[in-house]
């Protein structure tokens, strides 16, 4: 496993790409409401990334091995959709929860982040799931520092989420990121404390837990991309891009209107 340790120059470019990804979510927030289609949200984000930020939307035409090219510029995952939901003509309605996943490319470097949104007033169950998943992500982030072990991240996320009765999706994980969308290491959202590789300053990766209200089992829909819970239970995900520093971490995808870290 070859992990790229970013140079100061690369880190500076990753800061820009990460900030821009977060700002896309800030921009689109007022439009995420009942009656809008996910296709409209995709168009708004695409135009903002391309015309205002001068970015490339990384998901558009992204085609990992075995997949047809992804047809849109963002991912929109609603209610029981876990990840990689393809924007379409479905209108959001009151009570829905939706994840918007944004990845920008600026000057050759990627910034990757996602955020949950409530449409109108969500159920108590849905709000609790989204807030708990946000906290689970931050519990993982707060383990990050040079000298810590990679498995500490997954252990912090898993022990918190499962302690609340939720389940962790295991088929998808965080990942190294830089010039490539997906690099080493794979960042599992479950695991054993003290396991895995030792973190080094200059590593950059995403932490992006997918937490289900029901069982962990998932399946892929016929579009070849959208992942849903098998039991149709709600699912939530949050994501930030993280830089490992000597003393801790830096969140590269924080933006002005990003929800603040929870108080633990």
What is the reported pLDDT for 264?
Answer: 75
- pTM, to two decimals: 0.97
What is the reported pLDDT for 263?
Answer: 87
Q: Does the pLDDT of residue 65 top 90, yes or no? A: no
Extract the runs of DSSP E, i.e. beta strands, from the chain.
Answer: 56-57, 75-78, 81-83, 97-106, 109-118, 167-168, 174-176, 183-187, 204-207, 210-212, 218-220, 227-229, 235-237, 240-244, 249-251
Q: Does the pLDDT of residue 230 top 80, yes or no? A: yes
Q: What is the pLDDT of residues 104-123, one digit of tens each?
A: 999 999 999 999 999 999 99
Which structural domains are found in the chain, ordered by start? Answer: 8-251 (3.90.230.10)
**Mean pLDDT (the chain, rounded):** 97
Mean per-residue pLDDT, 142-156: 98
What is the reported pLDDT for 66?
Answer: 83
Mean per-residue pLDDT, 4-14: 98
What is the reported pLDDT for 18?
Answer: 98
DSSP-derived 3-state class of residue 236: strand
Check residue 35 and give left, alpha or beta (phi > 0: left; psi -120 to 50: alpha): left
Give me the percent of the chain exceeding a pLDDT of 70: 100
């Amino acid at each position: 496993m070859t992990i790229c340790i970013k140079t100061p120059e690369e880190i500076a470019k990753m800061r820009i790409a990460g900030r821009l990804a977060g700002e896309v979510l800030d921009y689109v927030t007022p439009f995420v409401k009942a009656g809008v289609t996910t296709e409209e949200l995709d168009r708004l984000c695409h135009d903002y990334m391309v015309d205002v930020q001068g970015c490339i939307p990384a998901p558009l035409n992204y085609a990992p091995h075995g997949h047809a090219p992804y047809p849109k510029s963002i991912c929109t995952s609603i209610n029981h959709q876990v990840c990689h939901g393809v924007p379409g003509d479905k209108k959001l309605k009151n009570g829905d929860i939706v994840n918007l996943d944004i990845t920008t490319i600026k000057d050759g470097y990627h910034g990757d982040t996602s955020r949950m949104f409530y449409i109108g007033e969500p159920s108590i169950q849905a709000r609790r799931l989204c807030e708990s998943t946000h906290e689970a992500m931050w519990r993982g982030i707060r383990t990050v520092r040079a000298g810590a072990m990679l498995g500490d991240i997954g252990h912090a996320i898993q022990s918190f989420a499962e302690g609340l009765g939720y389940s962790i999706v295991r088929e998808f994980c965080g990942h190294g990121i830089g010039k490539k969308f997906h690099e080493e290491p794979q960042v599992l959202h479950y695991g054993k404390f003290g396991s895995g590789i030792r973190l080094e300053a200059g590593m950059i990766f995403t932490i992006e837990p997918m937490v289900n209200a029901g069982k962990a089992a998932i399946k892929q829909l016929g579009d070849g991309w959208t992942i849903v819970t098998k039991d149709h239970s709600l699912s939530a995900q949050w994501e930030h891009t993280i830089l490992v520093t000597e003393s801790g971490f830096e969140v590269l995808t924080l933006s002005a209107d990003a929800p603040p870290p929870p108080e633990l």
